[in-house]
Structure 1
Amino acid sequence: MAAIQHILAANQQRHRARSQMVYINAYVRQHFSPLNVLSDRAVQSKFRLPLGSFLDVVGDGTGLSNASVSRSVAAVTPILLCHARTHIRMPTTRDEVRQVHHGFHAMAGIPRVIGVVDGTLIPIHNPSLVDPCWIGRKPYAAINTQVAVDHDGLITDIVARWPGGTHDSFVWANSAVGQKAGRGEFGRSIFLRDSGYPLRSYLVTPITNPATPQEERFNEAHTHTRTHIERVFGRWKSRYRCIHRSSGGLRLSPVKCCSVIVVTAMLHNIAVHVGADEPPPVDEDGETSEDEAPNPAPCESRAAFHQAGVQTREELVNLF
């Protein structure tokens, strides 16, 4: 009997010891946070999104999959978008307008300029987009994005909602800033744009065939001032390579692409405000929305607006 009790006690002790053993087969991944270990300069250098697979770049740096990064972008973008109006806005106060006027006048001598307007193509990569309206004069799907900038390189207005095949003049006519300008809400201030836009008293384009030295000097000043926005495009797309053509296109739905474009413009303005180092410019050739082309003769219903634009431009030409 004693032997049997000894055997039972031994078995019970052995079973208890085995039951207390815990096997851990799961691997707990430790996420790497670059903000905790890298300097500000290193973060800017590593996460400027230089590749087309920008989701892979972020994922590799944080230990996340493409799907996780995509979900994070989708979650954070609407939150940032709520603050866009705070950081992207036209000058409104008298002092702000005067400062912008002086800044543009110092470039080439054109007075009363409140902004330079241009369109740029932001490529998107979505095989489901078979509608030709997404294809402009360049053979890739894109968002035709209208941008206005001030003398400091801040983006003061942005419209990112139209397919790449949409004409620039249509985007302007249907934009809030274009309609406000048409109602005279900017006073005597003017915008500069190339000849792809209609000539108006508030939207001044270059002279198609300059016939006098004054007209030639005006065109030179107009071109010099207008190239300012091309440099802004280069810095903006260099900071956020996901919106540059070299990225292969934003791999998101069109609606999400538009939101990301606006958010990157807001972040660009924040970088300018805080004095962040300027990134090396990228080639902007071929990404403007349309080639410059002379405006067709205005129809009778718009002749008065065109004539007012001619008069405004002649007043400016007389200054040169």
Structure 2
Amino acid sequence: MRVFLRYVGDPGFQIGIGEDIGVHQSTVSRTVTNVITRIVQKSNIWIRFPTSCEDLRNAKNKWQEKFNFPSAIGAIDCTHIPILKPFMYADEYVNRKNFASINVQATCNLNEEFTSVDVSWPGSVHDSRIWKNSDIYNVMKWNRASAVLLGDSGYGIAPWLMTPFRILETAEQRSYICFVQLKQRFPILHNKIRLDTEKVSSLVMRCFILHNVAKHLDDVAVYISGDVANKKKSITNILPTMQME
């Protein structure tokens, strides 16, 4: 787990991490793959979207208490995670800014915890298409609690989605703040992830899970890649909660 956290806490060069820790690059690679597999067992515990009427109403009440905004239960947005351009279907991964990425949709609550994450789309796909094909879209469309998500103008207005972004800046920027925290905790997401395409989505999802673990531990510090002391503190806090040896 320590090797994995060091990997996602750096730009993602396995050779350099191996040299710093004193293990071979192949050991780093195997460890990263193993931890990715093990963390997935915890995903349903740490990333959960309110689906029942009771859960949706509770989320609405909490959002209104904090932001004085009725009906909202969270914010939604997408972010591009840079990757190596794959050999297969390469053009599908090139986004409008002309670099290869996956376009990740996420929702978050008022505590800046992610409540849903979709890592299955290549970078060329527009945010609105991801939204309309997501499980969360159907949950919100058919919810009987009159709950809404807050998003930017790229999504379009619906009875269960309110835009534009500037209407309630403090509340609607919650998703933006979450993404900033996520990428500062895990700098590998800022850089080009050097893994096979099929492993990238799994790695990214694990970073979202660990972000929620950190929030659960009240670990609110923002980490800069060179801040070794803060990294070590983060590792110490996260390990017991994940219950990994």
Q: TM-score, normalised by structure 2?
A: 0.81
The 3-state SS of whatever aligns with 2:27 is helix
How many residues matched?
225
RMSD: 2.7
In 1, the alpha carbon distance for the partners of 2:193 and 2:19 equals 18
How far off is 1:277 after superposition?
Answer: 3.7
Residue 173 and residue 206 in structure 1: after superposition, are their counterparts in 2 closer, same or farther (change >3 A)? Answer: same
* Matching residue of 2:150: 192
Match of 2:207 among 255, 264, 267: 264
- Which of 111, 115, 132 matches 2:91? 132
| Matching residue's letter, 2:91 | P
Q: 1:260 to 1:128 in 2, by over 3 A?
A: same
Per the alignment, residue 9 of structure 2 pairs with: 49
Residue 81 (1) aligns with residue 40 (2): yes
Q: Residue by residue, what CA displacement relative to the aligned partner does 1:53-73 show, whole Å, maximum 9, x if unpaired? A: 2x2343134322222211221
Kept in 2: contact 1:115–1:149 (CA 8 A): yes
Does the residue aligned with 1:151 lie in a helix, a strand or coil? coil
Classify the secondary structure of the residue corresponding to 1:120.
Answer: strand
Which stretches of structure 1, 4 residues or more, deviate above 6 A after TM superposition? none
1:210-225 aligned at under 5 Å gives the runs 219-221=166-168, 223-225=169-171
User: How far apart are residue 156 of structure 1 and its match?
Assistant: 0.2
Q: Is the 8 A contact 2:47 2:115 kept in 1?
A: yes
Question: 1:274 maps to what in 2?
Answer: 217
Bigger radius of gyration among the two: 1
Residue 81 of structure 2 aligns to a residue in which SS? strand
Q: CA, structure 1 residues 34+131, in 2 after alignment: closer, same or farther (shift >3 Å)? A: closer
What residue identity is the alignment partner of 1:224? Answer: T
Change (3 A) 1:47 1:123: closer
- Counterpart residue type for residue 10 of structure 2: P
Give, in whole Å, the separation in 2 of the partners of 1:186 and 1:66.
Answer: 52
Percent of matched pairs sharing the same residue: 26
AA of the residue aligned to 1:239: R
SS at structure 1 position matched to 2:129? helix
- Separation in 2, partners of 1:75, 1:52: 16
Relative to structure 1, the CA distance from residue 169 to residue 94 in structure 2 (aligned partners, 3 Å threshold; closer, same or farther) is closer
Cα displacement (A) at 1:146: 0.1
Q: Once the two structures are superposed, what CA deviation does each residue of 1:3-52 show, in whole Å capped at 9, x if it has no partner?
A: xxxxxxxxxxxxxxxxxxxxxxxxxxxxxx979xxxxxxxx8x7762334
- One-letter identity of the residue aligned with 2:125: T
Alignment gaps of 5+ in structure 2: 226-245
User: Which residue of structure 1 aligns with residue 179 of structure 2?
Assistant: 233
Aligned-pair distance for 1:220? 3.3
Task: Write the letter of the residue equivalent to 1:250.
Answer: I
Which residue is 1:58 aligned to?
17
53, 61, 64: which one aligns with 1:105: 64
The offset of 1:133, in angstroms, is 1.1
What is the alpha-carbon distance in structure 2 between the residues aligned to residue 87 and residue 147 of structure 1?
Answer: 14
